[in-house]
Amino acid sequence: MIFQPTTDPAVFHATLRDQFETFLDEHRSALHDSLNGLTEEQARRSLVTSKTTLLGLVKHATFVEKVWFDEGTTCRSRAEIGIPDTPDESFDLHDDDTITSVQHAYQQACAASRRATAELTLDDLILGNRRGPLPLRWVYLHTLRELAQHCGHADILREQVLGDTTPQG
């Protein structure tokens, strides 16, 4: 997985919101694409003592999107949304979780996040988070921070998974 940040000069001078959204989408794409070209076994391979796997990372990112941009904007409960109550549970993989199903769910969650915030300004408050009201600007920054961290995890895990099958020279 090679992360390619934008070098489009238009983004350099875009509005702050457009820059946030460009960076969020870059990280969303990188995390989504971390599963590309892997077998189901490779995507589920556990290489660390935590529940973190490549497939689990993308499943967790779906949870993150739904917490910040569904629960946050609609004030619906996690039970109503159909997501786990805790972040730790969001890494749990079920037998019917596949690369295709998890990537599709993530794409849908990201699209829903974009729709949920389309009419908001960076100063509008997100009212449904457990921390209390937060400006959209903070939610964007927090989500970007979390996605960047998980992209780093995915890079390392993918390198380890593929290292097992790459010929040594």
CATH assignment of the domain containing 78: 1.20.120.450
Residue 124 corresponds to which tokens in the numbers above? 């509008």
Give a yes or no: residue 158 inside a domain: yes
User: What H or E segment, with its residue span, contains residue 134?
Assistant: strand 134-135
Reported confidence tier of residue 3, pLDDT bands at 50, 70, 90: low
Domain membership flag for residue 119: yes
2 inside domain: no
Is 151 part of a structural domain of the chain? yes
Residue 68 to residue 111: CA distance in whole angstroms: 13
- Domain range for residue 52? 9-163
Structure tokens at 136: 């959209």
Are 101 and 32 within 8 A, CB to CB?
no
pLDDT in tens, 92-111: 999 999 999 999 999 999 99
Residue 39 lies in a domain: yes
Give me 146's structure tokens.
Answer: 């979390």
Structural domain contains residue 107 = yes
Distance, in Å, from the CA atom of 81 to the CA atom of 5, rounded to the nearest integer, reads 32
Q: Which two tokens stand for residue 150?
A: 């998980």
In a domain, 27, yes or no: yes
Identity of residue 60: H
The average confidence (pLDDT) of the chain is: 92
pTM for the structure as a whole: 0.90
Q: Write down the residue that tokens 């596949």 correspond to.
A: 98
pLDDT digits (tens, 9 = 90+) for 23-63: 999 999 999 999 999 999 999 999 999 999 999 999 999 99
Q: Which two tokens mark 151?
A: 């992209």
- The domain total for the chain is 1
Question: Which amino acid, 55?
Answer: L
Burial zone of 102 (CB within 10 Å; 0-12 exposed, 13-18 middle, 19+ buried) = buried
pLDDT tens figures, 82-95:
999 999 999 999 99
In a domain, 1, yes or no: no
